[in-house]
Chains A and B, each alone.
Chain A
Amino acid sequence: MSVDFLIETAKKIQVVINDNSSEIEKLDQEIGDGDHIFNIQRGIKLVIELEPTIKDLIMSKALNQIAMKVLSGIGGSSGALFGTLFMTMAKGDAIDEGVDYKKAIEIFAEGVEAVKQRGKADVGEKTMMDVLIPVSNCLKKGVEDDKDLKEILKEAIEIAEKGMFSTKDLLATKGRASFLGERAKGHIDPGARSSQLMIKTVCESVINS
């Protein structure tokens, strides 16, 4: 994984998120406060705009710049959570000596764990963690079992989709939707949907590379 790959993938994510923006916005208006899509779109745009600043940087510095940019540029919960994700990945062991797929999975899993701590949310609470935690576990397991990378990523795409759909019947216990109680049931969590789309895009990007 190179800094170029990060930027190119961010560009692909931008297209996918923009294509699905009205759906995500609608989900958020049903159970949130309607700002999630704008936060995500703003964050992705800011990361893409970092290209000239980070393209020649070593991985840890590039990830750190991305972290600070999403932290200050997005705001809200999304900024803090994505900021925590990238800041933790930037601290990954020896990432400046090259990031192969095993290393990428390792630092992603560390990042997801930190996000879990920051948001104090686990699987089953109707948040993006219902996508990120199972995906992280699936990726780690795939490496442990020494599976083929493409197989691992295809499985991760399916797991992400399953996690996203699972939020539909959950009661929210974290975030704004938690204030709705039973009323949040029957709605897919917008954060789960946007992170599922991002996971799918990253995985497909690697599969097709």
Chain B
Amino acid sequence: MKKFMNSADDFLKESLQGFGAAHQDIVSCHYDPNFITRATPTKEGKVALISGGGSGHEPMHGGLVGHGMLDAACPGFVFSSPTPDQMLAAAEKVDSGAGVLFIVKNYSGDVMNFQMAAEMMQGPNESVLTNDDVAVEDSSFTTGRRGVAATVVVEKIVGSLAEHGGSLHECKALGDKVNKNSGSMGVAFSSCTVPAAGKPNFDIGDDEMEFGVGIHGEPGRRRDKMKSAQEITNELLEAINEDLKPEANEEILLFVNGMGGTPLTELYLIYDNAKNMLDKKNIKISRSLVGNYCTSLEMQGASITLTKLDEELVKHWDSSVHTAAMRWGV
């Protein structure tokens, strides 16, 4: 394992300290329990948005704290859910009285810990559970689909509504809607190494890829031999389209997300290849996002997310945002 680290025990703390110092105009980091808030207090009457999850997916979620998005993020250990004391401390700090909306990715550890926090919390709160990953079927045989990159889209759009005075109930409803309108699927070329583990999370051959991989490198649909970018992109989009069923002329957001170890050059190539296919199907790309937003440490790979848009979603997507990882309209 080669990593920039001094010791596995201090890995998260030092990274958080650096993040807090580098972006002190936007965020402040709190320790024991760990959580990140905006540098300024929540506006009176504004619903507070809190997300969180295991670390290792940066910039999600700490990099999405700031004007127009999250009020707080709770980072767990690498690939391990945060714990209720973090969510409770964050809620206490950022709840202005208008309530707290938890945005939770559908992973059992995250779900259980946010659930316990919600049970222990005084005051109004709701939760949005994201489950956009179409790779694994939602059936009685699974805990349901995983929540992956569309969580970023949910946080952007609901963040805007909250900023514009949406109620707790309205924010929850919009979050559920964005999630329902979104589908994602990813592919990995290489594994990733959790610092405390010191060795790769899974083995994968030089000529292989994990198709439908999860954001911790957990297996997806199948192990395939490498293919061309256009073939991979087509297969990802076919899987998403099969689930999301966008209609011809429907407007969508095309989000090409890097998993940490794939250069932007390749992500833009995927965007080009995805556009080729969507153009053929007359699906209109109305908004775009390309970059590393929901990562899996140093994993080589990428995911594609499509979100079906309407006027309301476009308005909230376009509205101003100022976070460490996303900034426009300001």
Contacts and interface: CB of A to CB of B under 8 A. Distances in A.
A77 interface: yes
B83 A173 contact: no
Nearest to B82: A75
Q: Name which of A73, A78, A80 has the most chain B CB atoms within 10 A of its CB.
A: A80
Given A35-B197, A83-B116, A174-B108, A75 B76 contact: yes
Interface stretch (A145-153, A175-183, A201-209): A175-183
B79 interface: yes
A77 B218 contact: no
B248 interface: no
A190 interface: no
Interface in B262-289: none
B45 interface: no
B116 A71 contact: yes
B33 to A, nearest CB: 7
A200 to B, nearest CB: 25
A40 to B, nearest CB: 12
Contact of A176 (B82, B108, B115, B140): B108
Nearest to B114: A80
A38 interface: yes
B218 A71 contact: no
A75 B218 contact: no
A182 to B, nearest CB: 10
Contacts of B204: none
A80 B218 CA distance: 21
Interface string B111-136: 01101100000000000000000011
A79 B81 contact: yes
Interface in A54-86: 68, 71-81, 83-84
A145 to B, nearest CB: 35
Interface stretch (B141-149, B151-159, B319-327): B141-149
B229 interface: no
Interface string A165-206: 000000101111011110100000000000000000000000
B219 A180 contact: yes
A119 interface: yes
Contacts of A183: 219
Interface stretch (A8-16, A26-34, A133-141): A26-34
Given A29-B202, A119-B108, A119-B112, A79 B83 contact: yes
B80 A39 contact: yes
Given A77-B112, A80-B112, A178-B141, A38 B214 contact: no
Nearest to B8: A38
B143 A178 contact: yes
A33 B214 CA distance: 10
A73 B83 CA distance: 8
Contact of B112 (A39, A81, A171, A179): A81
B219 to A, nearest CB: 5
Nearest to B81: A76
Contacts of A35: 79-80, 194, 196-197
A179 B83 contact: no
Contacts of A119: 108, 112
B97 interface: no
B109 A76 contact: yes
B252 to A, nearest CB: 26
B217 interface: yes
Contacts of A175: 108, 143
A102 interface: no
Nearest to B203: A29
20 contacts: A33-B201, A33-B216, A34-B197, A71-B116, A74-B83, A75-B76, A76-B109, A77-B81, A78-B109, A80-B112, A80-B113, A118-B115, A171-B141, A173-B143, A174-B143, A175-B143, A179-B214, A179-B218, A179-B219, A183-B219
Given A179-B142, A181-B136, 12 more contacts: A33-B79, A33-B218, A71-B85, A72-B83, A76-B77, A77-B112, A80-B115, A175-B143, A178-B136, A179-B218, A180-B218, A181-B141
